[in-house]
Structure 1
Amino acid sequence: MRARSPCASDPAASKGRQHLEAVGETRGPRTAFQRDRDRIIHSIAFRRLRHKTQVFVAPDGDHFRVRLTHSLEVAQIGRTIARALGLDEDLTEALCLAHDIGHPPFGHAGEDALTEALAHAGGFDHNGHTLRVLTYLEAPYPRWRGLNLTWETLEGLAKHNGPVTRPGWEMAMVDQGYPLQLSSHASLEAQVAAVSDDIAYDNHDIDDGLRAGLIDFDELLTVPLVRAGWEEVLRRYPDVETGRLRAELIRQQIGKMVNDVIEETRRNIRESGVSTVADVRAAGRTLASFSGALASQEHELKSFMYARLYHHPRQLEAAALARQIISGLFAAYDADPGGLPTEWQQDLPDSPDGRARHIADFIAGMTDRYAIGCYRRLVGDIALPEGF
């Protein structure tokens, strides 16, 4: 077993939870971070990820990724990196599994529509909404709202992409009730979760884009990082039909990125001189990262993916329809809250901002297919392209 790094988060030294829990309420021999991971997995919000957009809106194909499968893939990559670096795997996994829980239906298109609808009430941010879901909207316990996760898990979700200097209203409200030191960097486990997210979607979106026919393989090979990986695969398997090697290309590329992050992070830790978790937070820079050379290549890959996949005409058409659905739902509920489920009507705030945020909370929790059904019931029919 690899030795535990002195920079690893220690569940026994956790800053604790916002609400005190009696010892007798602890079920099973688990660490604090293991309990966080399990609470996330058992949450309603986590289950909803199986019907929320990753790249393709409400995909018909059984083999396309959704938020749930993406989160599982991020967790697998995150645990691999954390294990190699001697970090806490359970905290890393919890952060990977929960990082997308705040996404509304239809991914970024849905988020854009909610941001516009809440322009007068502080906007909408999926990262801040993740914290709102986990600290307020999920309510499975009898004495408090939220999952009562540890400070380290909430901090990591807030800051896994770096310090937050201008938090939106959702994150600001959580921070006000349970300060998360937003101006500092997060733990190495949170930083690993962030780079694992990049590795997962960089590669798995290629897989889905090829499967959907939106990415041309020959064009993909113009990306230097991919071209080098493909040439390596062909050298390794010269006698295998090339059509069977595309999955190997994805695996090879993930492995290259994972190994690069492990080596670069070790080098950064060495050169920065950090030796405690507190040192990591005070380092003033991200330590878990790609090397400079691979970061440049990864940026080129992202540019290609935006041009060829994320901004593909079919994707833009789907995004426009998705924004129409979310905007239409918000307007319908705002005009007549009687369309909300009874329990949501009962908690409707009186203030305009509070009302708007309440409606957005409800819509953000929807799955793609539920949102489509609600739109058709409350607003009217909508013609959706095949595969939507």
Structure 2
Amino acid sequence: MTGRASWACNPEASRGRLHEEQNGTARGPRDAFQRDRDRIIHSISFRRLRHKTQVFMAPDGDHFRVRLTHSLEVAQIGRTIARALGLNEDLTEALCLAHDIGHPPFGHAGEDALKEALTGQGGFDHNGHTLRALTHLDRPYPGWDGLNLTWDTLEGLAKHNGPVRHPQWALAEVDAAFDLELTSWPSLEAQVAALADDIAYDNHDIDDGLRSGLLSFDQLMDVPMIAEGWRRVEARFPGVAPKRLTGELIRSQIGEMVNDLIAATRARVAATNVQSVADVRAAGIALAGFSDAMRDAERGLKRFMYANLYHHQSQLDAADAARKVVAGLFAAYAEDPKRMPPEWRDALPGTQPARNRHIADFIAGMTDRYAINRYVEIYGPVDLPDAF
């Protein structure tokens, strides 16, 4: 497929931005989606991803992935798929780059701690916080809060996993200000971005798991999808040491998943006869996706990764320690807000739940190492598992 498909998002047909911008503020010959992508790349929230957990918390090894490198890898996969399907590559890339911005320190362990801290006050959700960071907390412009991204980008981030019928408070606030039509399906660009995320972490986490020693080749051979791919790689490179073939296995598997996704998505688009972005949103189903066989294989891989890597005892021990750090920080700041930096302390609301949500905003923006350092300042030395 070449050229832009009729069902691709068009920057010239964008629903615009919440805050009107004068044309004189444009810097360079970029369309609306290119500007969104560039604003995300230049944001403080994006830069913080370099020190936020992907799989391993505050890793000492320089070669392990973090949220930033993961997001770049997702963007590369997303652009490849978008180009093959005739979608808008710039919007797809923006969604891929921004999808993890709302993660607090220590990933899902940190999210669990903030969710518990805000029990009865709306809880915490990293996807909702992505929207909150991009529309409220990042403030690089003098005329408004947030990055003032287009409706199309915000909609894609809000609904990349499908319609949202019961939005958490942070997402609900964004939706109230700029109706994102949460109950409809998102653009194909958003659907592709979500699947690019799956493809990236499904495969790159194998690489990191092997590098860490928590996964072994023998274990991986229990996964039919991986065992079959490994046999093909060995046949192409006979006599080469397994360690030298790991990268080839990962690349081949990503390629197979990408090709399957492109073919299956093309078939669904043709079968539903969509002709426009509006048709995509009104289709009532996800149009981007794997074939049935690849979907089942990918789910089997995920089950293996949860059982053998994400829920490995060392990972569980690290998650317990991370929850302790985040919960301890929240308790300390709630007890004495003067412990927060002046700009956060001075902006603290006087009533609940806004007060505790403000504290959670501060903690959610922390990197792993910043959170650990602040915890040590308040409570003294802390004994952290080797995973740190």
TM-score range, shorter chain: over 0.9
SS in 2 for 1:338: helix
Q: Which residues of 2 match residues 234-245 of structure 1 at below 5 A?
A: 234-245=234-245
1:194 matched to which residue of 2? Answer: 194
> Unpaired runs of 5+ in structure 2?
none
Query: For residues 251-286 of structure 1, what are the alpha-carbon distances to aligned partners after superposition, in whole Å with 9 as ceiling and x for unaligned?
Result: 000000000000000001000111100000000011
* Contact kept in structure 2, 1:33 and 1:90, CA below 8 Å: yes
1:387: Cα distance to partner?
4.3
2:376 matched to which residue of 1? Answer: 376
* Contact kept in structure 2, 1:330 and 1:363, CA below 8 Å: yes
2:126 matched to which residue of 1? Answer: 126
1:132: Cα distance to partner?
0.1
SS in 2 for 1:352: coil
1:278 matched to which residue of 2? Answer: 278
Runs of 4+ in 1 over 6 A off after TM superposition: none
1:291 aligns with 2:291: yes
* Contact kept in structure 1, 2:315 and 2:387, CA below 8 Å: no
CA distance in 1, matches of 2:236, 2:268: 32
* Contact kept in structure 2, 1:332 and 1:379, CA below 8 Å: no
2:81 matched to which residue of 1? Answer: 81
1:234: Cα distance to partner?
1.3
Q: Which moved more, 1:305-314 or 1:236-245?
A: 236-245
1:322 matched to which residue of 2? Answer: 322
Q: Which moved more, 1:39-48 or 1:234-243?
A: 234-243
Backbone CA RMSD of aligned residues? 0.8
1:237: Cα distance to partner?
1.4
Q: Which residues of 2 match residues 1-388 of structure 1 at below 5 A?
A: 2-388=2-388
Query: For residues 9-53 of structure 1, what are the alpha-carbon distances to aligned partners after superposition, in whole Å with 9 as ceiling and x for unaligned?
Result: 000100000000001111100010000000000000000000000
> Unpaired runs of 5+ in structure 1?
none
CA distance in 1, matches of 2:29, 2:121: 44
CA distance in 1, matches of 2:45, 2:196: 21
CA distance in 1, matches of 2:220, 2:276: 42
* Contact kept in structure 1, 2:321 and 2:385, CA below 8 Å: no
| TM-score in terms of structure 2 length | 0.99
**Sequence identity (%):** 67
CA distance in 2, matches of 1:130, 1:320: 24
CA distance in 1, matches of 2:302, 2:114: 25
Give the residue type in structure 2 aligned to 1:315.
Q
1:120: Cα distance to partner?
1.8
CA distance in 2, matches of 1:201, 1:181: 29
* Contact kept in structure 2, 1:45 and 1:365, CA below 8 Å: yes
Query: For residues 162-201 of structure 1, what are the alpha-carbon distances to aligned partners after superposition, in whole Å with 9 as ceiling and x for unaligned?
Result: 0001000000000000000000000000000000000000
* Contact kept in structure 2, 1:132 and 1:171, CA below 8 Å: yes
CA distance in 2, matches of 1:369, 1:362: 14
Paired residues in the alignment total 388
